Structure 1
Amino acid sequence: MTSLSASDVSTIVHLADHMREMRLRAQAMKASFETGQRGFFTPTEDDQVVQLWVSYHMARAALLETLHSIRTTAGKASEENAAEFSLAYAAALILIDAARTLRDLYSDDLLVRRKLNESNSMYGIEQGSFDMIQLSLTNPVNAIGVRQADQFYTDHAELFSRLAGEDAKVASVVSLIDRLRDRVSIGPTRYLKARAKELRHDARDRIVTQSFGRAVYAIQEWGSRLVSSFSIKPGHIARLPDHVVSAMSNLLKPGDVFVTRKDAAVTNYFLPGFWPHAAMYVGSDSVVESLKDGVRVRTMDSPLGNDAVALIRPSLETGLIDRAILRAHSHVGKPYDFDFDFTRADRMVCTEVVYRSYEGLGGVKFELKKRAGRQTLSAEDLLELAVADRFFRPIAVYCARHGDMLLTGNAASNVLNQTVAALRNNL
């Protein structure tokens, strides 16, 4: 029997908490809106809706990534991989519960529904995404898949109870499943009514089908189709070429910042720019990095497991860089922030590790930019500082579309200038 990863379990538990917080915020927003009387959103209300929707998409993408990873490593449900099944089933229940919450709150609110169906090119959210998610929620194949998973869990109740008694990680997952099963349960009559309602919305609004390559809300029979069309490059494994890894290793200094891209990562769709991610090199072949499982010290396999990478260096003396590294380590163990809320420091996105490590040292001052209703710092904002020689400077860049070698000096700056210009034009 395979033991669950503590990282995967903490990610699922954190995402469940995040979705529960999101539900409370969505309920509070609905209660406070007076749009029915005036027929439009105020700018503040508009920001609140967009921020909630982007946050939901980010959390949903993280859950889908977890499902995809478990399916790839564990395969079909069986007693031998019951622990992995429990984790995937919990992720599926969180997804369903969150989607139903949004449906129950906003399905009949035409103004909010129209807003959630708007496209957002910066975050890769397609037009009609709310209706597509709701249609997928009532898709008969998906419903059967969830029913089969529920039956497997019921048929093996004694096994899951025993596993929970033997492993605290499994116990936390089983507790989460038991809490969500009642919320997600739906009878045949209610299902048929919900399906018919979504089909009426679909016909009325002429919603387009989701394009290949976007993460879709499809919880299927375990081992066959837990997630469909998950990646734009199915089977692709991101990894820098060996000669690039070797060349970059010779350039690295503690305090450097990696800005990276995985071509096939579903989360690329919900982060602005070509370069969506950042990690801070802290020496000893390790980085402090925030991913969906939170802020952790990771090996170099993490930043090197990408398709493109840029390296920038702070323009600070060694003593200040050492202080920044100590600051970075102080955030290890904090959860990921799917809300991108830079006003709180108890949870962090990837760029916030860099922000809170360097802000105020040697005059470093980051200018936060408003996106989706939040003041944020994107990975490409860091690159923009570097190409402008403000607080950071470019060291190297590798991007296959610009050649097969690691570029340094002016060549690296030219490539970064092109991507920063693309981001600026999208704002």
Structure 2
Amino acid sequence: MGLVHRTVDEEINQSLKLIKELEHIVNEIQKNKDLFNSDIQNMSLGDKQNILDKWVSYVGCYNGLNEIRQKYKNELKLKHREDSHTKFKNVLLIYASTIAIRKNSVLLANIIDKNKYLESMLNESRSEYNINKKQYYYITQEITEISQMISLFRNKHYFYFMLNCYEVYEYESYESEKKLLDYASDNYLNLIKLVKNHRNIVFNNMIDFFGKNVFDFWFPFQKWVAISITGVDYSSRKQKYVSNEDINIIKGELQPGDVLLKRNNYQLTNLGLPGFWTHSAIYIGELGVLDDYFVDMPLGDFLCVSDYVKKVYPKVYDILCDKGETNRQYIIEVIAPGVVINPLDAIAKVDYFSALRPKLSKDDKLKALFTAFEYLGKLYDYNFDIMTDNALFCSELIYKSYLCSNNKKGLNFKLEPKAGRLLLSPNSIIEKFDAEFDSEDAEFDFVVFYDGSERERKAIRKSAVDLKITWKLNKWSIVKRKIILNTETRYPIVKIHSALSKLRIILYGMFY
């Protein structure tokens, strides 16, 4: 029996330590609530990492207390013959851990609810820190669980009864035991008051429960549709408007770090994407180009960029030094398989092509490329959530690679709220170029623009002035023109146009 008492006492000391640490973390979060409430668009990588560090610490304490709670719940279910004081300690560990978890969850939710876009980041799976998918959601859902409240109420009266018995029999409890019981007793009423004073959390939990469970049901279908229509072309053309000769000219004008954008007409995925421009990527070049362009960059013990890439990013190096290809230039982009490195033709052999050059130092561009290399192999984000890092969509790679950090300047993009998420679309990049055109604050220089001509069946090189207004173009006019050109009677035009209008509504809601 002494061994059992000793184990429980160790757990009580551990519980006190975890509760103290959890209270400290939440207190630090409250002191830094301006950071948690700050505009996501102005949040640097350093600020984001600071939030993640505090979240990792919070979940570490939560997991520790929850492990203790579940362990002693299971022991009580086994119903071994134990003395009443051992049972008292077991129930105390469950009671105090539950109060600490729920109280601090209310305080945390009160801060995070003011910046709902943070939830995606906190709900992201991080196996290296033992953080599960939807961790924040499950932690906050417990706040309003009726069964937990009933259990706390029952345990409160259990302790009231047991303490009266101990007083009669003059039993002396251990100091750590007294501290844990005092914490639980003092904070029981605090927890009730907190829940009452933050009724919005109860309401939000109900909405979140419905919304997130419906999304879990819908998401596989959304992903299946997105995969099914990727690359589907409903025209009869075999050639795109940008020719091989055009691409050879483009190769001589690009520099590493350039932001590339494209559009193909008559792609089924265009129906679900906002705006005229539909895809983006970052230009790499090849190892020789990187060495020449970044020849003066300090890289420690490495003589050139290619040596650095070979050591730090071996998978990138293996792709870029493909001996079977000559004079091939490369890009990094996000397509259906995820973040990949492809030949330039993958984004340049299209109907419309443009390139913009970030007005940054070579050092900052190189750091942006290295950031992009970090994401190589990540999956495609069919949820289009820019707050998560486990998966990305095409323009999210641009956003995160050029995000400002403590050691590099970056680009400032305006994210747009769509269906409860923050979004940067390829079209928004051209909109930014237009808004800043010829101003001192412009963050992009114009490189090249090839405009696909339906009438001439080729791409025509045009100016920056022509490019900057393309984000306003109506993508549906091209669809309608194609239908009219290939339809002999008016009735099919009306019928097909009606069907496309309905498909537009469905896909627009599905993707964004």
With the shorter chain as reference, the TM-score category is 0.3 to 0.5
Which structure has the larger Rg over C-alpha atoms?
A: 2
TM-score computed with the length of structure 1 as normaliser:
0.46
TM-score computed with the length of structure 2 as normaliser:
0.39
